[in-house]
Homo-oligomer: A and B are copies of this chain.
Amino acid sequence: MGVSLKDVAQRAGVSVKTVSNVVNSYPHVKPETRERVQRAIDDLGYRPNLTARHLRKGRTGIIALAVPELGNPYFADLATAVIDAASQHDHIVLLDHTAGLREKEVLVSQGFRSHIIDGLILSPIRLETEDLLARAGGPPLVLLGEREYDAPYDHIAIDNVAAARTAVRHLIELGKRRIAFLGARHESLRQPAHLRLRGWREEIRASGGVPDESLVLATDGYDRRDGAAAMTRLLDRTDPPDAVFAYNDLVALGAMRVLTERGLRIPEDIAVVGFDDIEEGQYAAVSLTTMSPDKTAIARLAVDCLVERIASGASTAAFPRRILPGCTLTVRESTIGRGRPGTGA
């Protein structure tokens, strides 16, 4: 069998777990430790043998992860977390990019490349329930994301309505009354349910207000440019909002750029809340308050479910699970300003 993880660990003077962390690209290893382990790996000529164990069971040890956008840091974070979680099960991950197109999502879900993958984690945008029901055989499948299906597959998704309500409640508690929603979907695109928009409506009603639909702005996509364009349209009206809840952080960051250009103060004039907790929001000149989905839990649960389904040998789940990982409010300067961390006032 050649050189083992244990041999490397002994030579480097670290635990087997540490060697495994280095080999599997786990991020939180000190550079000095990583270097020491890498030197031992190089000296001994260690080669990780990822697939031998799987091949004995007629499997490849490869799972696919299909996401709509690589350019969205949320999906890059999620992909990194899935790669980490999969490595704990000795699986490697192939990434697919669907661009959120139904055609590509169908292609992926119907087992494209099924001869080389043991299972699939899919975050769909436009896939329909009928597409899933039409799926014949193919590898085990776990679904991620906001879209809801009545189909025999495990589904991991945060509670988008509850999370949106938390975000809006935070703004209401800060005294904001004209809260815009940036990033509604164009009706023409036949897109998923507007769960976050529904949460916006429900929370405004729960506070005794009436949702002002003129404050709901549709966008072509969910990028910075979409947020900037929507914010510009909103500010060009006579009666601007005093707060913005954006579909995601990219939309929020695009909106904040426009606020800064116009000389408006964040949060005094207009407070902003995003969604996703991408790192960019932490480092913005005014750091971004956001809803933080537990990406590590999402990734771990998705991989755990998938590995279990792979082990069961069945392509569909007789009792599909619907699992809701946590999503918490992370308060930063874009709602409470500087120098008052941790308070909501």
Chain A residues engaging chain B, CB cutoff 8 angstroms: 22-23, 25, 27, 31-32, 35, 38, 41-42, 46-48, 70-71, 73, 76-77, 79-80, 83, 93-99, 101-104, 106-107, 113, 116, 126, 186, 188-190, 220, 223-224, 228, 253-254, 256-257, 260, 279-280, 282-287
CB-CB under 8 A from A102, the residues of chain B are 38, 41-42
Partner of A257, one of B48, B257, B284: B284
Partner of A73, one of B71, B99, B104: B71
What is the minimal beta-carbon distance from A206 to any residue of chain B, in angstroms? 33
Partner of A35, one of B27, B95, B188, B260: B188
Partner of A70, one of B76, B94, B116: B76
Q: How far is the CA of A93 from the CA of B284 in the complex (A)?
A: 33
CB-CB under 8 A from A280, the residues of chain B are 224, 253, 280
CB-CB under 8 A from A76, the residues of chain B are 70-71, 73, 76
A103 touching B71 in the complex, CB below 8 Å, given contacts A31-B189, A253-B283, A285-B284:
no
Please determine whether A220 and B95 come into contact, CB atoms closer than 8 angstroms: no
A186 touching B31 in the complex, CB below 8 Å, given contacts A101-B25, A279-B224, A284-B284:
yes
CB-CB under 8 A from A41, the residues of chain B are 102-103
Q: How far is the CA of A188 from the CA of B283 in the complex (A)?
A: 28
What is the minimal beta-carbon distance from A287 to any residue of chain B, in angstroms? 8
What is the minimal beta-carbon distance from A16 to any residue of chain B, in angstroms? 16
Please determine whether B283 and A285 come into contact, CB atoms closer than 8 angstroms: no
CB-CB under 8 A from A228, the residues of chain B are 283
CB-CB under 8 A from A188, the residues of chain B are 31-32, 35
Q: Which residue of B lies closest to A78 (CB)?
A: B70
Partner of A260, one of B73, B94, B113, B285: B285
What is the minimal beta-carbon distance from A276 to any residue of chain B, in angstroms? 13
Known A71-B76, A224-B282; 14 more pairs at CB < 8 Å: A35-B189, A41-B103, A46-B103, A48-B103, A70-B79, A70-B80, A71-B77, A71-B279, A79-B97, A83-B97, A94-B96, A223-B279, A228-B283, A284-B285
What is the minimal beta-carbon distance from A28 to any residue of chain B, in angstroms? 12
Q: Which residue of B lies closest to A128 (CB)?
A: B42
Q: How far is the CA of A287 from the CA of B256 in the complex (A)?
A: 12
